[in-house]
Structure 1
Amino acid sequence: MELVSNPIQAMQDTFTKPNRVFATIAKTHNWSWLPFLLVSFVSTLPIYYYFNFIDFDWYRNMVIETSAGDLSPAELDMMRQAMQQTQILWVSVIGVVFSSIISNAVLAVYLNYATKSDEECVQGFTDWYGFTWWVSMPTVVISLITMAIVLLASDNQLSPAALGPTSLAFILGIEMDSAWFSLTQAIRLESIWVMYLIAVGLSQWTQLPNNRTYLIACAPFVLIWGIWAAILLVS
Structure 2
Amino acid sequence: MTLSKNPFVAVLDLLRSPIDCFAAIYERPKWAFIPYLIIILSPFFMWFSYFDNVDMVWLQQTLLAQLSNNGQLIEQDWLTKDVLIAGEIFSDIFGRTVCIFVLALWLNLSTKGNRYKHSYGKWLAASCFIMLPTFVGDIASLTNIIFNTNNIMPNAADLNSLNGLLKLPLNHPWTAFTTTVPLLAPWYIALTYTAVAAWTDFDRAKAIIVAILPWLLTLIIWPVMILVA
Q: Same fold (TM over 0.5)?
A: yes
| Offset of residue 87 of structure 1 | 1.4
Residue 103 in structure 1 maps to residue 103 in structure 2: no
Conserved? CA contact 2:156–2:165, under 8 Å: no
| CA RMSD across the alignment | 1.8
What's 1:90 paired with? 86
The alignment-based identity, stated in percent, is 21
What's 2:15 paired with? 15
> Quick one: distance in 2 between partners of 1:174 and 1:162?
7
> Quick one: distance in 2 between partners of 1:45 and 1:86?
14
Residue 55 in structure 1 maps to residue 49 in structure 2: no
Q: Which moved more, 1:174-183 or 1:109-118?
A: 174-183
Residue 189 in structure 1 maps to residue 183 in structure 2: yes
Q: TM-score under structure 1 normalisation?
A: 0.89
5 Å-filtered alignment, 1:65-214, equals 65-68=65-68, 69-70=70-71, 79-121=75-117, 123-155=118-150, 157-165=151-159, 167-214=161-208
Conserved? CA contact 1:169–1:175, under 8 Å: no
| Offset of residue 162 of structure 1 | 3.4
Change (3 A) 1:42 1:160: same
Change (3 A) 1:94 1:174: closer
Conserved? CA contact 2:29–2:121, under 8 Å: no
| Offset of residue 43 of structure 1 | 3.2
Q: TM-score under structure 2 normalisation?
A: 0.91
> Quick one: distance in 1 between partners of 2:163 and 2:87?
22
Specify every segment of 5 or more residues in structure 1 that has no aligned partner in the other structure, as ranges. none
Conserved? CA contact 1:43–1:139, under 8 Å: no
Change (3 A) 1:221 1:44: farther
What's 2:25 paired with? 25
> Quick one: distance in 2 between partners of 1:16 and 1:43?
24
Q: Secondary structure at the match of 1:220?
A: helix
Tell me the amino acid that sits aligned with residue 183 of structure 2: L
Conserved? CA contact 2:49–2:145, under 8 Å: yes
Q: Which moved more, 1:192-201 or 1:51-60?
A: 51-60
